[in-house]
Amino acid sequence: MADSDLQYHVGLSASLIEGARYVLMPGDPDRVPVLSAAFAHSRPLAQSREYRSALAYAEDVPTPVLILSTGIGAPSASIAIEELARLGVRYFLRVGTTGAIQRHIALGDLVISEASVRLEGTSSHYAPIEYPAVASVDMICALREAACALGISHHSGMTCSSDSFWPGQERRDSFVGYIPRRFQGTLEEWRRLNVLSYEMENSALFVVCRALGLEAASVCAVVACRWQGEAVSHDVYAKAKHDLARVAREAVRRHAARAIGRPA
């Protein structure tokens, strides 16, 4: 694909991404430089809407690694997946933040999502609600191994993806504080069903990638513990984003090594 075929939303073409097969996908555009710094060297690519991108290089990964922010929520994430798939990207790793609902999970811990509750609408445009939102087993294994090797506290299991930050996650610090009846009591229900945390993109990421024949996984840093309160801890976030970068980079190395038949 030539530069004249630049993808409309992300502002990238196949020649710009130089054959990248992996993409790290933070929500916040300001996390792109942090993720880039985990690699030997990198260079910025484009800034289009919420999609800020960079290309990172490492001797132990056979192709460059694309880093692309997706903004907040499932619709913009699905657009990125569609357009990057057209450019040859095959492995999608979300690197985000999350609010824990289980008491054994601490601020700053990482949550590796094995599957996600589909509490958002985007994924239903790709597959019926009976279709499960599950991550790539190989990529989950690479994330777990990376976190263990780096000594970073982490948990893996089911997460929940909501289309809203406030009512869908049963937050009561919204403008009016009202929770529609549909969502009243749902935080406790998900907790009792062993869901680990809330976020806003995982289920769409998993469903869209599975439906398109791609692989996806997600690792998120815990920046709020919902039994303690609604607020996000900015101090924890400042440290956690560097832990996320280290784990993501190591997971890509391990996954890529196995993909080409080298020992991880």
List residues with catalytic annotation: 9, 83, 171, 226
Question: The tokens 């900015």 sit on which residue?
Answer: 234
Report the distance separating Cα 244 and Cα 248, nearest Å.
6
Contact status, residue 47 vs residue 11, Cβ threshold 8 Å = yes
Nearest-CA neighbor of 206 among 139, 134, 142?
134
Beta-bridged to residue 224, according to DSSP, are 99
Phi-psi group of 14: left, alpha or beta (phi > 0 → left; psi -120 to 50 → alpha; rest → beta): alpha
Distance from C-alpha of 125 to C-alpha of 122, rounded to nearest angstrom: 6
**Residue 39 to residue 42: CA distance in whole angstroms:** 7
Measured distance CA(169)–CA(174) in Å, rounded: 11
Residues 6+ apart with CB under 8 A from 232: 97, 99, 223, 224
In DSSP terms, which residues pair with 68 in a beta bridge?
A: 53
Cβ-based burial of 30 (10 A; exposed 0-12, middle 13-18, buried ≥19): exposed
Task: In whole angstroms, give the CA distance from residue 46 to residue 105.
Answer: 36
